[in-house]
């Protein structure tokens, strides 16, 4: 009788274990994992909203830093909170066939990495928060000087390019200098987008003066080339007109000269 009870117990235990393994995805998380999971969900949503709102013009690195740090912190916290001997992060990743948590986190980190946002900042200070790099501060200084000049209401449109030329040249030179330094690792996308926008504005509004000078050069060069060709044709025609006429003797006179000999 005792052996039969043991056998029935073992059979029941095996059935329960099999049921738990087959339906492990259907059991809710322990309450300990609910709070960090919700924090990660909120952090993911807030960073995504910030990234979309700052996609044009690109100010992702500047405006979304705090949201990205919160996202990373919430993801790390899920690995610290335990649920029945297993971290909440492992439970969410290993038992989730869709990999929702890992995919969302990896996509957000990939977005931050592709924007090279870390290049806008220096290493973390004592408080653990990144601070803006000196290159970014200098670029912002030159860029703000140019923007103030461009938006100056007292400057007439016709004088804008000549008045702001110095600020534009300084900004352009500084950007190229830090681009050469960071050639292997790339530039923070916020800075790249600001510079591209500046180049576009300058080419549309100010390069027409340069094109005017180019037109004069092209017309002058074309005129000189045309005059050279005309001079060559005139000289050739003059040579042909004044060339001596050579009269060739006919065969009849050639035959007479033979008889005389």
Give the Cα separation of 197 and 233 in Å (integer): 51
116: left (phi over 0), alpha (psi -120 to 50) or beta: left
Give the Cα separation of 198 and 202 in Å (integer): 6
How does DSSP classify residue 96?
Answer: -
- Please check whether residue 33 is in contact with residue 101, taking contact to mean a CB–CB distance below 8 angstroms: no
Give the Cα separation of 3 and 85 in Å (integer): 33
Question: Any idea where the domains of the chain sit in the sequence?
Answer: 31-115, 134-209
209: left (phi over 0), alpha (psi -120 to 50) or beta: alpha
pLDDT value for 174: 93
59 backbone dihedrals φ, ψ, rounded to 5°:
-130, 30
CA 87 to chain centre: 37
Cβ atoms within 10 Å, residue 89? 23
Provide the 3-class DSSP secondary structure of residue 88.
helix
Q: What is the DSSP string of 1-68?
A: -HHHHHHHHHHHHHHHHHHHHHTGGGSPPPHHHHHHHHHHHHHHHHHHHHHHHTBTTB-HHHHSHHHH
List the pLDDT tens digit at each of the 261 positions of the chain.
434 343 433 343 344 334 334 444 444 545 578 889 899 999 999 999 999 999 988 999 999 999 999 999 999 998 888 877 788 888 777 777 788 888 999 999 999 999 999 989 987 656 667 889 899 999 999 999 999 999 998 888 788 898 999 999 999 999 988 886 655 456 899 999 999 999 999 998 887 655 444 455 566 677 778 878 877 777 776 666 655 555 555 555 555 555 555
pLDDT value for 142: 96
Cβ atoms within 10 Å, residue 229? 10
Burial class (CB in 10 A: 0-12, 13-18, 19+), 82: middle
Q: Pairing relation of β-strands 82-83 and 86-87?
A: antiparallel
45: left (phi over 0), alpha (psi -120 to 50) or beta: alpha
Q: How far apart are the first and last CA of the chain?
A: 159
Give the Cα separation of 199 and 188 in Å (integer): 17
């Amino acid at each position: 009788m005792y052996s039969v009870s043991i056998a029935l117990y073992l059979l029941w235990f095996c059935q329960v274990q099999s049921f738990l393994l087959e339906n492990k995805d259907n059991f809710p998380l322990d309450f300990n994992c609910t709070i960090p999971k919700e924090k990660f969900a909120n952090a993911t949503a807030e960073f995504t909203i910030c990234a979309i709102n700052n996609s044009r013009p690109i100010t992702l690195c500047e405006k979304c830093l705090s949201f990205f740090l919160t996202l990373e912190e919430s993801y790390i916290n899920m690995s610290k909170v335990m649920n029945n001997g297993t971290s909440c992060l492992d439970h969410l990743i290993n038992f989730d066939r869709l990999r929702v948590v890992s995919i969302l986190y990896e996509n957000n980190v990939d977005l931050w990495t592709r924007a090279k946002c870390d290049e806008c900042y220096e290493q973390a200070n004592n408080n653990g928060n990144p601070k803006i790099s000196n290159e970014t501060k200098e670029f912002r200084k030159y860029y703000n000087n140019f923007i103030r000049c461009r938006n100056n209401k007292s400057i007439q449109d016709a004088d804008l390019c000549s008045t702001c030329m110095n600020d534009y040249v300084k900004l352009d030179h500084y950007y190229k200098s830090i681009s050469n330094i960071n050639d292997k690792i790339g530039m923070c996308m916020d800075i790249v987008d600001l510079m591209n926008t500046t180049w576009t504005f300058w080419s549309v509004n100010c390069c027409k003066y340069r094109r005017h000078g180019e037109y004069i050069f092209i017309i002058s060069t074309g005129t000189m080339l045309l005059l050279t060709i005309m001079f060559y044709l005139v000289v050739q025609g003059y040579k042909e007109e004044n060339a001596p006429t050579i009269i060739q003797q006919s065969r009849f006179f050639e035959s007479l000269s033979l008889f005389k000999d």
